[in-house]
Structure 1
Amino acid sequence: MQVKDTAAVVTGGASGLGAATAAALAERGARVFAFDLPASIEQAAPVPGVQYVAVDVTDPEQVADGIGVAAAGDAPLRTAVNCAGIGPSMRILGRKGPHDLAVYAKVVQVNLVGTFNVMTLAAEQIAATDPLADGARGAVVNTASIAAYDGQVGQAAYASSKGGVVGLTLPAARDLAQHGIRVNTIAPGIVETPMLATVSEEFRAGLAAGVPFPQRLGRPEEFASLVLTLVEHDYLNGETIRMDGALRMAPR
């Protein structure tokens, strides 16, 4: 499926993986609607072809309104990419006591429920478009993490939420097959995002040293390139792909 002259939604689109993905889709000729929180949008640099829309993925009404904006133009909505996510660290039993249930629920709400909500409402609009070859109408790409498989100490909430995204992939692809909508997931490893920009170069080098090959951190542009492949390759469906340089995370 070609993305040129179509509309695309990217959550978390103002920074990191989402910003790189939004820019890549726009460069390919898509009209991109980047969903993010107002504070993140205020700090985002303008990108040709990308329109920022203030959306909290945990708010069903805001998501529905944002999807409506993306679907209302001349370009048919055919792509939805979920990059929005949070990852606070907390042990199940730590020095300050048991894991805060509200924190656990918040992580799951943003990372898993938010992904499901955006995918579902976007799929409703994509399903209403005219079919392409083989009855194809669009594609969804969700973001998990290698923590779904190799969750480390303190990642109970994050790994749970991302494991849920992995588990969602195949049934979602099967549910949406009758509408011509494919669903795939990327599970990135350690990628150079704004979160990592706050740590020391020495710490970053230590992280990179643990990657078998190439022995460096991943780049947001590489994630975006994989998104484009998953969107454009019509026979990739129901798959979760690790993008991690063969990294398997240690317990700590």
Structure 2
Amino acid sequence: MSKVAIVTGASRGIGASIAKRLAADGISVVVNYTARPADAERVVRDIIDAGGQAYAVLADISDSVAVEALFDQAEVKFGGIDILINNAGVIQPGMVNLADSDDALYQKIFAINTKGTFNTLRLAARHLRDGGRIVNFSTSVVGLALPGYSVYAASKAAVESFTAIFAKELRGRNICVNAIAPGPTATELFLGGKTSEQVERLARQPPLERLGTPEDIANVVAFLVSEQGGWVNGQTLRVNGGIV
């Protein structure tokens, strides 16, 4: 029987690459999206055309009721859930010092990055089959402690705490819970609004002297959800080319 994964924010970028990679490994994928339905359906078509199984589900992960519907639809469509990939998230619109951050910025970032992960983890405790896998998403900005990104980094630092503690709370069920903390990655979301000079400067920062790719991140996710990743639990992996 094929394993089943929910990938949040999977209509483009890193999420789309993860969905396609997991499907290539024989996993049935629920492609979650909040906007851009055409992009989500394109990811589904690409997976099906390659011989995999996928299904798109609209759900705003900051809405607990919508997340319940997401899990219910996954179970109806594929018969169960084994894997949760908490990829959906937002970044700050440029550098904003803490003193200049308003309520709207704080609430938007924490609603999706932190509350969204909280919403899915609560349900995963009830819905994931024993032996399952959970991969949350943090950011290497937590380790870099970059001025101007305090709200964003704080929202993801909470995710790292969720990860370490939730792994222990699921004792006895053989479910591994880990987080990935990417560095600068060449996605539309990351590159938007940056000049070519800014992008070049960021690309030079890691010792490997390039930006990450969505495929770099998807490869690590694929390892963590595989049998080979079964002894990694409660960890945050910085997947960033050595930038921190």
Q: Same fold (TM over 0.5)?
A: yes
**1:116 corresponds to:** 118
Q: Equivalences for 1:71-110 in 2 at 5 Å? A: 71-88=75-92, 89=94, 90-93=96-99, 98-110=100-112
Residue 50 of structure 2 is matched in structure 1 by none
**Match of residue 35 from structure 1:** 32
Instruction: Confirm or deny: 8 A CA contact 1:56 1:63 kept in the other structure.
Output: yes
Residue number in structure 1 paired with 2:237: 241
8 A Cα contact 1:53 1:66, kept in partner: yes
Q: State how far apart, in whole Å, the 2-side matches of 1:54 and 1:224 are.
A: 22
Q: 66-75 vs 193-202, which deviates more?
A: 193-202
1:131-155 deviations in Å (ceiling 9; x for gaps): xxxxx52010000001122232221
What residue identity is the alignment partner of 2:197? Answer: E
**Alpha-carbon offset, residue 246 of structure 1:** 1.1
Which of 131, 145, 153 pairs up with 2:147?
153
Moved more, 99-108 or 10-19: 99-108
Question: Offset at 1:245?
Answer: 1.1
Q: 3-state DSSP class of the match of 1:177?
A: coil
* Equivalent residue, structure 2, for 1:20: 17
Q: Deviations over 1:92-125 (max 9, x none)?
A: 23xxxx4212211221121011012112212311
Deviations 1:17-61 (A, max 9, x none): 111101111111111001111x32233423222221101000111
Structure 2, unaligned runs of 5 or more: 48-52
Q: Which residues of 2 match residues 126-145 of structure 1 at below 5 A?
A: 126=128, 129=129, 136-145=130-139
- Normalised to the residue count of structure 2, the TM-score between the two structures is 0.89
**From 150, 168, 176, the counterpart of 2:162:** 168
Q: Identify the match of residue 205 of structure 2 among 176, 197, 210.
A: 210
Alpha-carbon separation, structure 1, partners of 2:145 and 2:33: 26
Q: Is the 8 A contact 2:84 2:124 kept in 1?
A: yes
Report the 3-state secondary structure (helix = DSSP H, G, I; strand = E; otherwise coil) of the residue aligned with 2:46: coil
What TM-score do the two structures reach when normalised by structure 1? 0.86
Runs of 4+ in 1 over 3 A off after TM superposition: 73-76, 196-202
Checking the alignment, whether the CA contact within 8 Å between 1:18 and 1:83 is kept in structure 2 is: yes
The alignment covers a number of residue pairs equal to 231
Most deviating of 192-201 and 145-154: 192-201
Q: Which has the higher helix share?
A: 2
Matched, 1:64 2:59: no
Percentage of pairs with the same residue: 31
Equivalent pair of 1:31/1:75 in contact (CA under 8 Å): no
